[in-house]
Copies of this chain bind each other. A is one copy, B any other.
C-alpha cells in the first residue's frame, strides 16, 4: 500500500499548483510499480517562498522536488551543485537531496523535448530550426537544440533583447550552431517550434507566420493543453509533420524518474 510512514516523499512545487500534471502522473507510476512513494503537490505565494523552501529543506525525508512556474530560477539558486543543463540557464526543474542535506539541481525541459523529437523520428543534427520564444523553457530548448547538433537556429521573442541575450549565450556555448535573432517566420527552415504559451487560450493569435510553412517542414508545439493547438491544426492542413507537447512531458517524466532513482536501483533496494 502507498503512503505509509516509511513512504519516500517527493514534492511538486508550483504557484498555482492545481493544474500541474506531474503529481498525478508520478503517483500513477508509483501505484503501478507498487512503490511506497508520494508526489505531493505544494504551492506557496511568492512572498513566502524563502520560508517555504527553508521548511522543505528541513523536512529530512523529502528526497526530491519537481519545480514549475514561477520558482525554477529561485530554486536553482538554493542548490549547492547543479548539472550544466541547469547551470547554463540558471533554472532547476528537478532537485534531489545530497548526502549533506543540500540540493542538486537539474533541468529536463530541453532533455524531454529532444528525446521526444528523436523518439518520433525527427532529426535535429544538421537542421535549420525556427524557435519562437526565448523565455524559461525556450532557453532550455535552444541550448539542447544546439547541443544536439542543429545547424542553424532562428530565434525570436516579443522581447527582442531577451532573444538576443539567449542567442549570444547559446552561440558562445555551441559555436558550431549558427544562432541569430530573426522574425517569427519559417522560410528556409526544416522545423518550426513554438516555445511560448501563445495558443493555450481560445482566441490567441498564431505564434508564427503559418503562411510561410511548406509541407516538407516539421512543426512542434510545447503546449500540452489543448493537445492540438491552432498552430498544429494549421500546419497539418498545409501537410507538415507535427508534434504536440505531451510527448515532451512523457520523456521528462522518464528522465526525472531516473534522476530521482524512484525504484531505488542505485540504492541497492530496488
Contacts and interface: CB of A to CB of B under 8 A. Distances in A.
Interface string A20-31: 111110111000
Contact of A19 (B5, B14, B49, B54): B5
A42 B9 contact: yes
Tell me whether chain A's interface is mostly helix, strand or loop, or mixed. mixed
What 4 pairs across the A-B complex have the smallest Cβ distances? A55-B55, A3-B27, A5-B20, A48-B58
A44 interface: yes
Interface string A48-87: 1101111111111110000000000000000000000000
Given A40-B38, A42-B62, A61-B42, A5 B27 contact: no
A18 B6 contact: yes
Count class of interface residues, chain A: 35 or more
B28 A5 contact: no
Contacts of A40: 3, 7, 9, 38, 40
